Structure 1
Amino acid sequence: MRQDFRNNPKIKQLLLKITSDLTTLELERPLNLMEVCGTHTVSLLKFGFRHYFKDRIKFLSGPGCPVCVTSVHDIDKTISLAKKGYRIVTFGDLIKVPGSESSLEKEIAKGAKVDVVYNPLDTLRIAEQTKDEIVFIAVGFETTIPVIAGLVLDAYSKSIKNLTVLSLVKTMPKVLRFLLDNLSGKIDGFIMPGHVSVIIGSEPYKFIPEDFNIPCTISGFEPVDLGLGIESLVRQIRANKPIVDNRYTRMVKKEGNPAAKHLIESVFEPSIVSWRGFGKIEGSGLTLRDEFEDFDAEEKFDIQVTEKVEQGGCICGDIISGKQSPLDCTLFRTACTPEHPIGPCMVSFEGACSAFYKYGEK
């Protein structure tokens, strides 16, 4: 099925249509389109869209890379727990992300216990096989949160006593409103995240065209998907009739996934959380409900970490808020590389800096 959306004559037709529509617009400047999701950043580079439209469309990276938006303060919390001897379980991308003074990778070299999992549910198996105090570091958006909720429910049902969760998860709609409320530049359209939209549906984005008069499209990740999404945005801009146009209908429904949403709501409740590049945003995080407080690492361990600034020179926060590009960073390809990352945008495969580095954007 993937080949139907990759090696397809429709791609050329879409590119010609978009180019024609852009010419009709008689633009005085390139359109600013924000791809919210880090995987879209990768696909736009990998499949050549950024280069093809470089004089007509400026693609801006958004806050859709989970590791990239995790604040330095929250990274320091995970490092603090590792230093105290607790066994950390988390996703691989988080290992190399620098805190203010260290990283989990550096702490591993000093003897810290850190396990990498691809599925949060594997944490339960680890907890059942050891007497160590296990702390799962939960990062991610609505795509991952249902599985993390499942981990908590399984641990609760089995009365697991040596497992807690440090919830650093975030939800998408609130940060987009915050971005638009505090916008310093111009965004002409949004390419919405496909994976998140599978869970939440299209309705949560309606405030963007209704309150800000900005078009949105929900897109998949293959070339035809991206072409359909970009064509939709350009068409909406031409007509000046912004909507949320779902061009990923094979995966995304208007109502999203009700079962997954119910699972999230049964375990978590909204909370304030700190975002790299944005600061603290009320209601954009999720914390465990009171009935699950025994599994809340914040409650159990009373984590006290002094808030410090991130390493100088890194502009990752400006990159994921669309203010700058990796090419604007003086550290990019010099001091900051995938082998020696200074910021999370170079660590994560979804990070803009990593994508620019890998696919040769210069």
Structure 2
Amino acid sequence: MSVPARPIKLMAQIYKKVLPEVHRELAVWKKRAQNIPDAELRRQALASLETKTFHCEGGGIYSLLAGDHMKDAVAFIVAYQTISDYLDNLCDRSVSLDPEDFRCLHQSMLHALTPGIEPVNYYRYRRGCDDGNYLRDLVTTCQEVLSQLPLLEVIQPALHELAGYYCDLQVHKHVEKDQRVPRLIAWFQKNKTRLPEMSWYEFAACSGSTLGIFCIVSYAAGREHNMNELADRIKTSYFPWVQGLHIMMDYFVDQEEDRVEGDLNFCNYYPSDQEMFSRFNYFIKEADAAMNRMPDISFHKMINRGLLGIYLADRKVARQRDVRVLARKLIFRSGASAVFFFINGWLYRRIRQGSM
């Protein structure tokens, strides 16, 4: 199965191959989540599956890089993203503000990348949490897929580095509100010398994506590339610019929702909308340049443009006047591919929501 290099072919394979497989995997985990004994954990697990399906659908596109092993890649991507979304819900809506609790929960995301490590009680800093082995089974599903990869030891350093950034972010952004920004700034200062010029909140956004992990695992599952060099090239291509653009778009469309819920939103730290628009354009430019180092360049550039189009097609954009104005500028700035994916995303979301 060749990697699609044109938007129409990509969308055809997404609708025909990727989405049906993603939804099959999600149905399995939804059934599991419905049987979680603890009522609050069950509610959060189901909420993450129902409201964040788009994350698994988007991540699942990377399975097209896995060739004949696409189903294995989808199984990993859906399980890993489901861990991420479930824990994000637990931390966002938690009565706990204990960084040790958040660190312990997110240890599962590192264990999921490490076949041979026995899962532990990830809820040990919480009282009375019985999830019927839901989180444990998500972890072991990821481990089982990775254990079949012939070059696992080659890709693990890059996977662990990207997951380490992600887990650190989730700890720092969910503690007591008055501690969040100081902790995030201190964390940024520790990593600043290894980064291009950016702000602390942009670094935090770059750390909050799973795309680099999905890309590495999918290529490794395909078994057609020499991962000795490619794993590090993917990591440095996706982090920081592509991942940063991905997460900034997520925060961009969620501004009003986060304001209501009192959640941290990194877009709020730009001094003006003009500065934010300028930096988004810079991220787009740098992400495009980073893709020139990748195999299947056309595919990765389409993903970069597709992320913009699909995020900006979200219904939330239309409900926020300032966001809507900037979104239109970004779409037209980003060219025909972004417009194509914007239209597809707009139609798909409304058709899907109308059928629910």
TM above 0.5, one fold?
no
- TM-score, normalised to structure 2, is 0.25
**Larger RCO (CA within 8 A; separation ≥ 6):** 1
Structure with greater helix percent = 2
Which of 1 and 2 has greater Rg? 1
Structure with greater strand percent = 1
